[in-house]
Amino acid sequence: MGRPVAALLVLCLIYLTTCSLSTRTAAFGAHDLRRGLERAMRGRLLADAAEGVVVVPIHWSNFTYLANYTIGTPPQAASGIIDLAGELVWTQCAPCRGSHCFKQEIPLFDPATSSTFRAEPCGTTLCESVPTRNCSSNVCIYEAFTNAGDTGGIVATDTLAVGTAAANLAFGCVVASDIDTMGGPSGFVGLGRTPWSLVTQTNVTAFSYCLAPHDTGKKSTLFLGDSAKLAGGKSNPTPLVNTSASPDDGLDHYYKVHLEGIKAGDAPIATPPSGRTVLLDTFSPVSFLVDGTYQALKKAVMSKISAPPTATRPPSFDLCFPKGGVSGAPDLVFTFQGSAALTVPPSNYLLDVGDGTVCLAIWSSARLNSTAADGLNILGSLQQENIHFLFNLEKETLSFESADCGALS
């Protein structure tokens, strides 16, 4: 079943108006978390409950993957977009100030009715680890740019029940933002390389996730700690790399790998040496490739597909085909440092947009209209479907293998 074009407009809306890298990196460059405090923070909050085995069910909704979880005692519902590069876990809180509050599907979290809620005082290690903090009546307040927009609120701790884990965690209790809507969820669940992401706070040395194909309705899963394992164990790991355009480009929240090459079927795609860094992302559904690589890939894909591209396309898409005419579409193979080969089948890059049309869900990085995006590739969530990704934070490696994500648990 195809996605109605209206849903794609939501994608364009979410993606193009609020999520361009230019906004994000400019913001993060200016407000980035301090380095070096991560160690001080590690394990401070959370060791109590997780016991190394955390399984978090996630589901697809409105072009993002979400986790439902609860905060507080008694528990109140929250839902967050799973953001692999996200800085923190945050949710909107009452009282959110009037128009500064975006519409969400569930009631606002109300700290006043949680007996375990604690606003973080100023001057603590946690508070000091937030670069854009300020102090108001001895409460630590903060501002953070997220993939959806600018947010501000109280740095707080409370009991969060995320999947099979329940622990006292730090989160952002957001009372103001410039976000109009996120189409349902109340915030984000950030997994990024920062002191107060879910991954860092749970003090795990590994995590993995496996995204079920978005159109199957099957559940996806995030595994934290000992539950994060690949079945085969025979895939080559690739090192997580640490290349940045500049020390403060804000991209150090991301998990990054080094691209050695791309093939479309057996045809190699030229990749400029300066454009080999790949950011892994679960917020963007589409991938972005540096323009030179993108143009070469587009050409190679067109040459293998016998049907001519459609004359009209939904907004945002650059290349579409009649659904019935793409049988010759090649697998794309991305090879990362260490000969780790990631196979992206046509079903992961030709998105069914309805009306008998499929479109290339890989775009040019030039679309991000940002100098910070020069030379960057981003691997989006559609291209990651049915591939299990394992991040080993001790060895600083990424491994992956094809999987039936909906059948893992």
* Side-chain half-sphere CA neighbours of 341 within 13 A: 11
Q: Which residue, 182 or 262, is less far from ligand NAG as judged by CB?
A: 182
Among 181, 316, 335, 347, the residue binding ligand NAG under the rule CB under 6 A is: 181
The answer for residues whose C-beta is within 8 angstroms of residue 30's C-beta and 6 or more apart is none
Q: Does 302 bind ligand NAG (CB under 6 A)?
A: no
In one-letter notation, the amino acid at residue 190 is G
Among 52, 55, 62, 176, binds ligand NAG (CB under 6 A): 62
Give the contact letters, 105-124, x = binds to ligand NAG (CB under 6 A), - = no: xx------------------
Question: If we measure between CA atoms, which residue out of 86, 60, 52, 56 comes closest to residue 70?
Answer: 56
Phi-psi region of 225 (alpha: psi -120 to 50; beta: other; left: phi over 0): left
Nearer to ligand NAG, 10 or 166 (CB): 10
Element spanning 348, H or E: helix 346-349
List all residues 6 or more positions away from 199 whose beta carbon is below 8 Å from its beta carbon: 191, 192, 193, 207, 224, 393
Selected from 68, 92, 186, 381, the binder of ligand NAG by CB under 6 A is: 68
Closest CA to 408 of 393, 396, 390: 390
To ligand NAG, the closest distance from the beta carbon of 242 in angstroms equals: 4
- Residue from 163, 183, 195, 314 binding ligand NAG (CB under 6 A): 183
For the CB of residue 62, give the shortest distance to ligand NAG in the complex, in Å.
4
Applying CB under 6 A, which of residues 18, 79, 282, 381 lies at the interface with ligand NAG? 79
Buried b (16+ CB within 10 A) or exposed e, 342-380: bebbbbbbbbbbbeebbbbbbbbbbbbebebbebbbbbb
- Residue 136: CB atoms within 10 A of its CB come to 10
User: CB 132 → ligand NAG: shortest distance, Å?
Assistant: 7
Compare residues 286 and 332 and give the one whose CB is closer to ligand NAG: 286
β-pair partners for 269: 262
Which run of H or E residues covers position 72? Answer: none
Q: Residue 279 or 296: which CB sits closer to ligand NAG? A: 279
Residue 97 or 299 with smaller CB distance to ligand NAG: 97
Residue in 52, 75, 131, 184 binding ligand NAG, rule: CB under 6 A: 184
Among 3, 59, 258, 323, which residue sits at the site for ligand NAG (rule: CB under 6 A)? 59
Question: Is residue 134 close enough to count as binding ligand NAG by CB under 6 A?
Answer: yes
b/e per residue 58-79 (b: at least 16 CB within 10 A)? bbbebbbbbbbbbbbeebbebb
| Identified binder of ligand NAG from the candidate list 9, 34, 43, 272, rule CB under 6 A | 43
Q: Which of 5, 12, 29, 42 binds ligand NAG (CB under 6 A)?
A: 42
Non-local (6+) Cβ contacts of 6 within 8 A are none
Residue type, 370: S
Q: Which residues pair with 344 in a beta bridge?
A: 332
Minimum CB distance to ligand NAG, residue 282 (Å): 16
Give the binding-site size for ligand NAG (rule: CB under 6 A). Answer: 20
Q: Select the residue interacting with ligand NAG from 203, 208, 377, 386 (CB under 6 A).
A: 203
Stretch that binds ligand NAG, among 146-154, 157-165, 177-185, 265-273 (CB under 6 A): 177-185
* CA angle in degrees (0–180, nearest 5) for 66-52-56: 15
- The interface mask with ligand NAG, positions 234-273, x = CB under 6 A, is --------x-------------------------------
CA Rg, the chain, in Å?
Answer: 21
State in angstroms the smallest separation of the CB of 80 from ligand NAG.
11
- In whole angstroms, what separates CA 7 from the centre of its chain? 19
Residues that bind ligand NAG (CB under 6 A): 10, 42-43, 47, 59, 61-62, 68, 77, 79, 105-106, 134, 181, 183-184, 203, 205, 242, 369
